[in-house]
Chain A
């Protein structure tokens, strides 16, 4: 069903981070990794939130977890055994984390070894960071080539994103290695509500970008599709078409270097008459 992509990078590491919790990191990690796999890239998505495993639920593979990231780091299982192959896309895999250990089980050497092994086989390695700026979040971003900073147009989220951007440019391998190109950081604006912006109740995209001063990867509209997809364990990009799904697909295309015009998608609900007389596109 999926073919491999020819201009694939060799194991590019993308961290999905934010500082603040609840802004949509895991939703975005799932949607972006599924979107990359759909484009034909071999993709693996890793849960770094040790002790609070959730990526498995959002990806819909929670019943198939046998071994996890921590088992692999501690040598209790081989990487191949811990990777869960997605049942919908053959070139997508999930590396779940442990639900029972704590974040101290993550070591920098262990994480690096796993990432290096994954680089042999995968085009993209998507790291789903936990909230906060402690060990799990630090190690999720440490080896990244690229960062997606998930931000809501809301004061605490923007402030935390700013803090995370600071860490990306100082406390990562690329930052510490002399002569290395810095991590390419981009903002992904989620829960965007054009209606509230029009009423002056929400900061605009321009407002947020002016404050954070990094490029924009995409604008994900507030959408009912996101909760529905999480209910069923389906990444938004693999679920029924929705504004959020389209927006994630645009973001994925930009990540892979395509030049896609920035647009604000919306789920326009069909009116009563439209529903009665059949939907028109």
Chain B
């Protein structure tokens, strides 16, 4: 509650609200996509490796998948260490 710019609330955001927000985001993901939320990731990873291997020689270790779940969108970050593809094609 704010009266003439004088707030009666402490300045720090209440941690209980943070707790509720975190749970809502997490549970929306866990319930929404069914129980198997992240289970498609191993398969996705295999497919990605396979697709890339058709063009470049990479090891399963060269691929790094990170995820950040947000309220509105989640982002999937995939880093692939591609070996130095020197243009030997010309030879």
Contacts and interface: CB of A to CB of B under 8 A. Distances in A.
Given A77-B42, A100-B35, A232-B15, A67 B22 contact: no
Interface in A203-249: 227-228, 230-233
B61 A78 contact: yes
Interface in A162-185: none
B22 A64 contact: no
Contacts of B68: 63-64
A62 B45 CA distance: 20
A67 B65 contact: yes
Interface of B is mostly: helix
Contacts of B86: none
A65 B60 CA distance: 19
B64 interface: yes
B22 A233 contact: yes
B15 A228 contact: yes
Given A78-B61, A81-B64, A66 B41 contact: yes
B47 interface: no
A147 to B, nearest CB: 30
A76 B68 CA distance: 20
A94 to B, nearest CB: 13
Chief secondary structure at chain A's binding surface:
helix
B22 A71 contact: no
A79 to B, nearest CB: 10
Nearest to B45: A77
A66 B38 contact: yes
Interface in B1-32: 15-16, 18-19, 22, 25-26, 30
A232 B19 contact: yes
A231 B18 contact: yes
B22 A62 contact: yes
Nearest to B74: A63
B54 interface: no
A64 B26 CA distance: 11
B64 to A, nearest CB: 6
Contacts of A80: 61, 64
A64 B67 contact: yes
B12 to A, nearest CB: 9
A99 interface: yes
- Pick the most buried of B15, B19, B66: most chain A CB atoms within 10 A of its CB: B15
Given A228-B15, A233-B18, 14 more contacts: A62-B26, A63-B25, A63-B70, A64-B66, A64-B67, A66-B38, A68-B38, A77-B42, A77-B45, A78-B61, A80-B64, A99-B37, A231-B18, A231-B22
